[in-house]
Amino acid sequence: MYAFEIERPKSLADAVAAIGAEEAQFLGGGQTLIPTLKQRLAAPSKLVSLSGIAELKGLRMDDAGRVCIGGGTTHATVAREAAAHYPALAALAAHIGDPAVRNRGTIGGSLANNDPSACYPAAVLASNATIVTSNREIAADDYFEGMFTTALEDGEIVTEVRFPIPQAANYQKFAQPASRFALVGVFVAKYADGVRVAITGASEQGVFRWSEAEAALSKSFDAAAIKGLAADADGLIGDMHGTPAYRAHLIGVLTGRAVTAAAG
Amino acid sequence: MRHVGDPIAAVVAETYEAARDAAEAVVLDIDELPAVIDMKKAVAPDAPLVHEDIGSNLCYDWGFVEENKAAVDAAFEKADHVTTLELVNNRLIPNAMEPRVAVGDYARATGDHTLYTTSQNPHVIRLLMGAFVLGIPEHKLRVVAPDVGGGFGSKIFHYAEEAFVTFAAKALNRPVKWTCQRSESFVSDAHGRDHVTKIQLALDKDGHFQALRTETYANMGAYLSTFAPSVPTWLHGTLMAGNYRTPLIYVNVKAVFTNTVPVDAYRGAGRPEATYQLERVIDKAAREMGIDPLEIRRKNFVTEFPYQTPVAVVYDTGDYNATMDKLVEIADLAGFEARRAESAKNGLLRGLGVNCYIEACGIAPSHLVGQLGARAGLYESATVRVNATGSISVMTGSHSHGQGHETSFAQVVADMIGIPEDMVEIVHGDTANSPMGMGTYGSRSLAVGGSAMVKATEKIIAKARKIAAHLLEASDADIELKDGKFSVAGTDKSVDWAGVTLAAYVPHNYPLEDLEPGLEEISFYDPSNFTYPAGAYACEVEVDPETGRVRIDRFAAADDFGNIVNPMIVTGQVHGGIGQGVGQALLEGAVYDDNGQLLSGSYMDYAMPRADDLPNYVVDHSCQTPCTHNPLGVKGCGEAGAIGSPPAVVNAVIDALNRGGHKVAHIDMPLSPARVWAAMQG
């Protein structure tokens, strides 16, 4: 690590004010940033920790019936407290990393980082969630802009994520053997106005919606509806853990399993 | 630089952070040269040379036994059936829990050097570094390797950092410490395995083995590490007979330099490579010929001992049918079909893999390894120091870095005398305390180091008996030792252990004219043969045909380790070995790109086995044919699990796929979901 200053603001307003410095960076749960610092791959002059800001933490239900999760809420809290409202989302959170990761890592940190193999982006995109920031509200379809790239601007903090609750949903993660991030992860969510299918882990562009499957499943929410439907291997990740063709194949298998699990 | 991780400069600073800053400030003016990673490309005529001065990347081309080659080829000509298999024994990165550490210290007043290091063999490091690197005589160099957090072979070897901190401590007249980061370990600890092999088995129409021949490319990496050349040769070629009476065997090994981290001994060292290819080709032959995989093994077992193999070594004892019988029982092979049907109901393909293994442990008879070209003697030493009150310090040249020597060695000595184990302390890991010893690897510690301890303790008992005879005014022939008490046979006259030991150091009533005072003895034990642990393993897997994912459902190991001192430690060793073997079979594999960058350079891409990758093992070591040539009758158990398990796992996956209608003959390790799925696509 290189030397840096750290500030621990108690309010969102103070955090936004503190980030002014040129090389300053927000620190959420630190699950990506801290290892990066330890490897000396980043050298911020100042870190602004978001961990002490009470207004970023916790879950609530809003008037529209959405489950709203503060950006600084840990995966462990989501796993525990979302279970009654949105079980598929809670189950996803319960299987991110290990207990140490789940008790430090936050939903806001995960979404700001937008790792192409992270789990949360699939839930957010499939749920058509709204990302609320210190400045504005961003629809999920407008938020994810590619691998490690989002619509967030410098100094903007994810304050809350609002998930409309689906009629049925399920997340299937096929773990990469070493990291146990998603080699492919599929989140399927069925709403009154249609089915959304979001794929993580597979694409060089990060999380994306599988529109062919959505169309088929919106007509018939049954794994049989996507039999014979193949995801396009073009643009998918190929590495030592799997070829693009293998990832494309897994997208089909996992989507079917997610639908079966959600429908059951 | 010849590989990523090749050290070229060192920085010493007051703090760790300052050292890292300074290391970053070093400007390296490096021109990238063409690299060669693939062994077959490395031996092609136009390949970039790893060592220009050698003029070739072929380190050696070894035929064994050369005189047998013509007869082997002739046997293949007239065989009823020939099975051929080409396979890769994947490169592994050792990953001991504790990374390497070295601290150099120097006393200017006396000129004494001390090196604290994470070594499996401090005396060997003292000899190699003192005599061949820094020119420091042994009496001015102390090497201390206290509790070390695992080695698995990777801490046998002498590394540059040890020499550097020793050198720098003198230059700066300060202690100098270096600690390896995990990411450095990946590119600087010697790797393991990395063989590419073509193996052929000739059989008669009934499945009797007629001849075996192999051609192996063995990756040395960019430099020859300490024991590297011996791994694909004497630790590999000599094991190619396995548990079987194959009359004719020819092994060819081409050792190759590449622009990769040096490869050296890793848990099993040559023997896993031998076992894997042999047990895989037997399985393939059985499938091709329609013979049951257990039956083809049984009909070829060596059953008479001693057995002279066609590859130099003589097996002293064993009973391979007994371990196979035990395996059938503990693995519940009779219940396999019912379990398979149950798996099929869940849409999963269940397969059964069975194999045998044999290894040569208790390394090694010095005269033999000398004839074979080794530059080391492979005896072991022990000093048994009995203190005045009867407690005992045993100084051993073996090194414990997780093997539990402190427990099992103390048991051996305490049992011989009949005193509680807590009266015996095992001292190891410091050249200032222990006699010159060769350290721990090759499942040698109890078989060789334990034998030295037995020999020294026998000397102690012989002398103590004489002291007791004097104290009891009897002839030493009449003195009996039982439960720590010396008594005169047929009388109630006795003296206890502490009475004798006190007399040895307070020799008032003592036969000083015949016997020196004190009670301390040393022994150096050089084995007359290797030991040959053997066993039979079974693995059951479920393969998800939709994703290619393999789950190990059951694993059973029936081992013959000869006599056993501490069953719990033996069980733990087998568990750990199987974990590493399963890691190799399903998860682990070093991957380089064509430019020599290690792509699997961290735990994000290099998959170590975790608890939930492993089943509950059933292990049994009740089949015991004691070693005939060491005083304990022990054979060694440290590497068996890692040697015996990879073929069991792979045989099981291939079996599952074939039972599921996929005609897959082989998949190279690690059997990742992606590889298994790709194989199923044809």
Cα B144 to Cα B120, B167, B347, B437, distances in angstroms: 10, 16, 56, 13
Find the helix packing angle between B451-471 and B497-505, rounded to 10°: 80
Q: What is the CATH number of domain B37-92+191-301?
A: 3.30.365.10
Q: How confident is the model at residue A20 (pLDDT cuts 50, 70, 90)?
A: confident
Q: How confident is the model at residue B371 (pLDDT cuts 50, 70, 90)?
A: confident
**For residue A228, what is the domain's CATH number?**
3.30.390.50
Q: Which of A239, A241, A253 sits opposite B547 (nearest CB)?
A: A253
Share of chain A above pLDDT 90, in %: 97
Burial state string for B83-92 with b = 16 or more CB within 10 A and e = fewer than 16: bebebbbbbb
B chain contacts of residue A177, beta-carbon cutoff 8 Å: 586-587, 607, 670, 672-673
Same domain, A23 and A77: no
Q: What angle do CA B388, B393, B396 make, to 5 degrees?
A: 150
pLDDT digits (tens, 9 = 90+) for B52-95: 999 999 999 999 999 999 999 999 999 999 999 999 999 999 99
Same domain, A145 and A206: no
Q: Which of A40, A177, A249 sits opposite B672 (nearest CB)?
A: A177
Sheet holding B112-117, edge to edge: B141-144, B112-117, B101-107, B176-179
B643 in reach of chain A (CB within 8 A): no
CB pairs under 8 A between A and B: 47
pLDDT digits (tens, 9 = 90+) for A109-157: 999 999 999 999 999 999 999 999 999 999 999 999 999 999 999 999 9
Per-residue pLDDT at A112: 97
Do B202 and B285 form a contact (C-beta atoms < 8 A)? no
As a whole number, the mean pLDDT across chain B is 97
Rounded Cα distance, B391 and B384, in Å: 10
Share of chain B above pLDDT 90, in %: 98
Share of chain A above pLDDT 70, in %: 100
Q: Using alpha carbons, select from B670, B679, B674 the residue that is nearest to residue B547.
A: B674
A253 in reach of chain B (CB within 8 A): yes
A192 in reach of chain B (CB within 8 A): no
The arithmetic mean of pLDDT across residues B648-655, rounded, is 98
Contacts of A111 (CB under 8 A, 6+ apart): A71, A120, A121, A124, A131, A143, A150, A158, A161
For B95-188, CATH number out of 3.40.710.10, 3.30.365.10, 3.40.50.300, 3.30.10.20 equals 3.30.365.10
Q: CB-side exposure of A243: number of CA atoms within 13 Å?
A: 10
The arithmetic mean of pLDDT across residues A167-190, rounded, is 98
pLDDT digits (tens, 9 = 90+) for B19-59: 999 999 999 998 999 999 999 999 999 999 999 999 999 99
Per-residue pLDDT at A33: 95
Question: Strand, helix or coil at B433?
Answer: coil
- DSSP result, B220-272: EESS--TTGGGTTTTTTGGGTTTTB--SEEEEEEEEEE-SS--B---TTTTHH
pLDDT above 90 for A264: no
Per-residue pLDDT at B185: 97
Per-residue pLDDT at B4: 96
Same domain, A62 and A28: no
Same domain, A141 and A177: no
Same domain, A158 and A240: no
The arithmetic mean of pLDDT across residues A213-233, rounded, is 96
Contacts of B274 (CB under 8 A, 6+ apart): B236, B237, B239, B240, B242
Cα B273 to Cα A166, B191, B199, B363, B557, distances in angstroms: 54, 14, 12, 18, 19
Backbone angles phi, psi at A49, to 5 degrees: -75, 135
A chain contacts of residue B597, beta-carbon cutoff 8 Å: none
Rounded Cα distance, B452 and B460, in Å: 12
Structural domain count, chain A: 3
Same domain, A155 and A198: no
Same domain, A134 and A187: no
Backbone angles phi, psi at A23, to 5 degrees: -105, 25
- Chain region(s) in chain B for CATH 3.30.365.10: 37-92+191-301, 95-188, 317-361+532-682, 366-525
Cβ–Cβ of B607/A240 closer than 8 Å? no
Per-residue pLDDT at A94: 98
Rounded Cα distance, B304 and B321, in Å: 11
Backbone angles phi, psi at B504, to 5 degrees: -65, -30
pLDDT digits (tens, 9 = 90+) for B310-339: 999 999 999 999 999 999 999 999 999 999
Pairing outcome for strands B380-386 and B349-358? unpaired
Rounded Cα distance, B374 and B370, in Å: 5
B606 in reach of chain A (CB within 8 A): yes
Rg of chain A in Å (alpha carbons): 18
Q: Which chain B residue has its CA at the smallest distance from A2's CA?
A: B17
Q: How many angstroms separate the CA of residue A64 from the nearest CA in chain B?
A: 39
Q: How confident is the model at residue B375 (pLDDT cuts 50, 70, 90)?
A: confident
B chain contacts of residue A179, beta-carbon cutoff 8 Å: 603-605
Topology of the domain covering B317-361+532-682: Aldehyde Oxidoreductase; domain 4 (3.30.365)
Structural domain boundaries enclosing A14: 5-49
Q: How many angstroms separate the CA of residue A255 from the nearest CA in chain B?
A: 12
Q: Which chain B residue has its CA at the smallest distance from A176's CA?
A: B605
pLDDT above 80 for A21: no
Contacts of B571 (CB under 8 A, 6+ apart): B619, B621
Do A26 and A15 form a contact (C-beta atoms < 8 A)? yes
The arithmetic mean of pLDDT across residues B112-123, rounded, is 98
Do B674 and A243 form a contact (C-beta atoms < 8 A)? yes
Per-residue pLDDT at A183: 98
Cβ–Cβ of A178/B546 closer than 8 Å? no
Same domain, A179 and A82: no
B497 vs B369, residue with greater confidence: B497
pLDDT digits (tens, 9 = 90+) for B214-243: 999 999 999 999 999 999 999 999 999 999
The arithmetic mean of pLDDT across residues B574-583, rounded, is 98
Domain B366-525: state its class.
Answer: alpha beta
Same domain, A78 and A10: no
Sheet holding B520-525, edge to edge: B424-427, B392-396, B380-386, B520-525
Partnered with residue B263 across adjacent β-strands are B191
Q: How confident is the model at residue B605 (pLDDT cuts 50, 70, 90)?
A: very high
**For residue A30, what is the domain's CATH number?**
3.30.43.10
Q: Which of A177, A241, A253 sits opposite B546 (nearest CB)?
A: A253
Q: Which of A1, A239, A246 sits opposite B677 (nearest CB)?
A: A246
Same domain, A140 and A187: no
Cβ–Cβ of B604/A178 closer than 8 Å? yes
